[in-house]
Amino acid sequence: MDEQNTESRVEFLKGDKVLWMVILVISIFSIFPVYSASSNLEYIVNNGTTTGHVIKHMFFVVLGLGIMRLVGTVKYEYIGKLSSILLGLMIVLLVVTMFTGQTIDGASASRWLKIPGTPISFQPSSFAFLMLIIYLCRYLTKKITRERLPIENIMYIFGPILLVFVLVAKDNGSTALMILMVSVIVLVIGQLHWKYIAGFISASFIAIILFLLIALNTNMIGGNRVHTWMSRIETFTSSKAKSADTDDESVKAKNYQVMQAKAAIVHGGITGMGPGKSALKQMLPQSASDFIFAVIVEEYGVIGAAFLISLYLIMMIRIVMIASKMPAFFGSLLVLSLGVMIFIQLAVNIAVAVNLIPVTGQPLPLISYGGTSMLVTYLQLGIILNISSRIQIYDEEGMGKKQSIAEINDIA
């Protein structure tokens, strides 16, 4: 009986057990800073109640864990096969969002698309990003045995990347830049010839410069946020050039978010003020999402932040280990690519909080309050766990060969 129970528990946590444990710990921990920081939404923004927000967050945590486990029941090769169709669907939704997108919680960008007949809204850009990376991994794997023609690279690799970038860039510049960055990394890992990668980077750079010039000097691209991006970059450079105690009130006003985040981090010290005792969360905009890391440091101190970062580090290490053990190129490439997506989002969020880069609006993976980004992260981790469960294993317990290499590579 005990053996049967053990097998059931192991089967429920299908895939890498260490990664599962890390995800569960971070997910449970996220409830506490979100509960604390969401009081800002109730008392300052006058949006809902703290209890309501934490219940919503817990719902998305449970839903995300369920989706992550559900993904583990589907062969990841099928996800690769469907990626081109799903990417096409996401591109259509991005176009729809450009014309009918909505704002949420006072945001100035129309990034959300409401599901008709329901109060549910989501960001198509997050799902489009994920589908694009899966599509690139599959295409690079299918064509790895022969030299691709230049027209093939333009149509089937660079075309989709630039199309998604253009559709996302208008309202979400930071995500658009991350799409380009991660895509280039995937192309490098996917062993695309360096001359094509260099050409793509050069063409992308020129296209971005032209986009900025047109958006800043003409009205051809209506509703763009280029002026907002330039203002954030100017604010960031000003904060570096001038001391924090400058008398320039305009600099202080523009740099308010970062100043409050840095103050919260300093206030936390080594041990922190204690759970729920953040004094600056009410003055920190987006304290439950974009700047939640500052709240975590204030309440849990450097020790708590170091523990959280250690968990993320373990997550990254396990992802690299899974990729290194996977005999199939598609599986290995996909795991590394999804890991890069998570790592860059994590690094950007923390870098903004400590004022290393301009404000971008990227959430902290598995922690920040918000549904779309959290569910996409759980999807990414679900695929990684799925692949980890398919690695060929030979051990003394007689688990035997789970799958042949021919079966794993059959993704066409």
**Closest to 384 (Cα-Cα) out of 177, 111, 80, 76:** 76
Helix axes 50-71, 17-37, angle to 10 degrees: 160
C-alpha pair distances (Å), 40 with each of 43, 258, 273: 5, 17, 17
Pairing relationship of beta strands 121-122 and 113-114 according to DSSP bridges: antiparallel
Q: Digits of tens for pLDDT over the chain (412 positions)?
A: 454 454 444 467 788 899 999 999 999 999 999 988 887 776 666 677 888 888 999 999 999 999 999 998 888 888 888 999 999 999 999 988 887 766 555 454 556 777 766 667 778 889 999 999 999 999 998 866 667 778 888 889 999 999 999 888 877 888 888 999 999 999 999 888 888 899 899 988 888 888 778 777 776 665 556 666 666 776 667 665 554 445 555 555 567 777 888 888 888 889 888 888 887 777 777 777 788 998 999 999 999 999 999 999 999 999 999 999 888 889 999 999 999 999 999 999 999 888 888 878 789 999 998 788 899 999 999 999 999 988 854 333 334 444 454 544 444 4
- Whole-number Å distance between alpha carbons of 172 and 168: 6
Residue entry with tokens 């023609």: 149
Look-up of token digits 């062969």: 75
Give the domain ranges of the chain.
14-73+226-411, 91-223
C-alpha–C-alpha distance, residues 125 and 168, integer Å? 6
pLDDT in tens, 317-368: 999 999 998 888 899 999 999 999 999 999 999 998 888 888 787 899 999 9
| Region of residue 13 (left: phi > 0; alpha: psi -120 to 50; beta: else) | beta
289-303: pLDDT as tens digits: 788 998 999 999 999
Query: Sign of the CA dihedral 358, 375, 342, 9?
Result: positive
173 CB-near residues (< 8 Å, 6+ apart):
225, 226, 229
Distances (CA, A) of 339 to 15, 131, 322, 377: 16, 14, 10, 10
H/E element, 113: strand 113-114
Q: Note the pTM of the prediction, 2 decimals.
A: 0.86
